Structure 1
Amino acid sequence: MIKRFVPHMLAACLTLVAASSVSALPADIEADRLVLAAEEKLGAQDYEAARGYLDRVDGLKVTPVPKFYYLSGQIAFHYGELSKASELLSQYVEEAGREGDAYEDALRKITQIEEQMQSQEAVSQSRDQLRDIKAASGIEREDTAGQAYDEKIRKLYIAPSLKDSLVLHINSLLSSYEYMEGRIKNRKTSERLEFQVSLQGTSQLSVARKQVKPANSGQSSISTSTIDAFGVNPFVSYRCSSAADQCQIKHPVTGAEWIVIAADESAAKELSTALTRLIKALQR
């Protein structure tokens, strides 16, 4: 047992001695050794191992040989770190000078990096310009269509202002498409919801909600909600449900139920458009 143990113990001791002799190298010589090891790994295209050796050089707190910057620049270039690669290769040519073994290759790499960065910047600018053009054209089309809609409402509802015309149009829709509960719709017997919009001040829009219950001697409950148009996303959305037999106009701030009308997709769409134009008019 002891005879078998001695060789293992001896091997372990030799390993420790070898390791201590390596770690005992002066920092600048150890840095040279690590740079050579990184160069060999780079020649074998083992970029990860090469980077590991060079990272250890950083930890030695010594000024490495110029080749360190050349190898580091190549690795950064491989991983697509173009700005970093350019800085490292530039540092190499400055320190190694024209006599450096990789002087010309480093300069070619710097030029290649410059061209790639310019190409990427050009592509990015083109994408931004295309996005801006699309956005601008979209706004222009929407605004042109919106102005045509406003003009149509002005002609249909003669009023002192566009806002007043839109209010008349919205209330007409709300009156025509009241939501009633039950399969058989009868204003005398069906519970229903009545809505009406009005303007408060220069920028506030109020919505009055009245719930009518004919079965309870026509009792009704009334509630009012008001929003200030400034700072509000003017685009009003809607959702129709055949199961619920109704269409809901969504609150432009909270996205919750705001107005309920009968299940009519075209009416809900028209009402959402009119409310959107009214909020935009209040924001001007």
Structure 2
Amino acid sequence: MQMRLTRKLIFALLISSGLVSVAPVSADSATGLSSPEQANYLHELKRLYSTQDERKALLAHVNKLLETYALRAGYQVGQAERSDLLYSVALGAQGEFLLREETRGENRSDIAVRNQRIEVFGVDPYIRYDCPTSGISCSLNNPVTGGTMLTIVRDNNGAAELAKALSFLVRNLQKG
């Protein structure tokens, strides 16, 4: 948020000094998922994951981010029952993705698996997240119910990147 505010202040300064002209802004560019940004983002993901398929690149990126920002037992210092909380995303039927949640106890012998089927047709594609300053985790919200869809380690940048990648995946799945 601080970075966004800084950009707005710099832009306002450039406008007031006459160095930048103001053009009409579409609603899409204000939300952060504009067409040029989307095209560049998807191009970079396809290059990064060596594929020409946007959906495969998005899926690989989401799963890599879920692995990177997993809430591990090692981060849960001082809690009575520490456990690893791991997620992965797979494609389901048309217009849905499957979210797999795996909870592993600290001694690695206790494993619980929960699967969610998330349908994306008719929902807002923008995934929202919350990273409270008092906790050790961030939560990303389910686009259908608005409740917590998944929990990752508290990292604002990681949560923002994961929310962005999931938002692009939802938009891609909504295309059919």
Question: Scaled by the length of structure 2, what TM-score is found?
Answer: 0.75
Q: Give 1:101's aligned residue.
A: none
Question: Of residues 87, 95, 118 in structure 2, which corresponds to 1:195?
Answer: 87
Larger strand percent? 2
Q: Give 1:165's aligned residue.
A: 57
Question: Of residues 76, 101, 105 in structure 2, which corresponds to 1:209?
Answer: 101
On the 8 A contact 2:138/2:154 being kept in 1, the answer is: yes
Larger helix percent? 1
Alignment of 1:84-123 (within 5 A): none
Instruction: Return the alpha-carbon distance in structure 2 between the equivalents of residues 267 and 244 of structure 1.
Output: 15
Instruction: Return the alpha-carbon distance in structure 2 between the equivalents of residues 191 and 137 of structure 1.
Output: 44
Q: Calculate percent identity across the aligned residue pairs.
A: 24
Alignment of 1:36-115 (within 5 A): none
Superposition deviation, residue 230 in structure 1: 1.3
Runs of 4 or more above 3 Å deviation? none
Instruction: Return the alpha-carbon distance in structure 1 between the equivalents of residues 49 and 167 of structure 2.
Output: 17
Instruction: Return the alpha-carbon distance in structure 1 between the equivalents of residues 102 and 52 of structure 2.
Output: 28
1:182-213 CA-to-partner distances (Å, cap 9, x unmatched) read 228xxxx9411000000013321110001110
On the 8 A contact 2:62/2:166 being kept in 1, the answer is: yes
Which structure has the bigger radius of gyration?
A: 1
Instruction: Return the alpha-carbon distance in structure 2 between the equivalents of residues 208 and 232 of structure 1.
Output: 20
Superposition deviation, residue 153 in structure 1: 0.8
Instruction: Return the alpha-carbon distance in structure 1 between the equivalents of residues 47 and 112 of structure 2.
Output: 35
Structure 2 gaps of 5+ residues are 1-22
Q: Give 2:40's aligned residue.
A: 148
Q: Give 2:26's aligned residue.
A: 137
Alignment of 1:233-248 (within 5 A): 233-248=124-139
Is residue 255 from structure 1 mapped to residue 146 from structure 2 by the alignment?
yes
Q: Which amino acid aligns with 1:138?
A: A
1:123-147 CA-to-partner distances (Å, cap 9, x unmatched) read xxxxxxxxxx96x623267222122
The one of the two structures with greater contact order (alpha-carbon pairs below 8 A, sep at least 6) is 2
Instruction: Return the alpha-carbon distance in structure 2 between the equivalents of residues 176 and 190 of structure 1.
Output: 18
Q: Give 2:70's aligned residue.
A: 178
On the 8 A contact 2:119/2:144 being kept in 1, the answer is: no
Structure 1 gaps of 5+ residues are 1-132
Instruction: Return the alpha-carbon distance in structure 1 between the equivalents of residues 164 and 138 of structure 2.
Output: 14
Q: Which amino acid aligns with 1:238?
A: Y
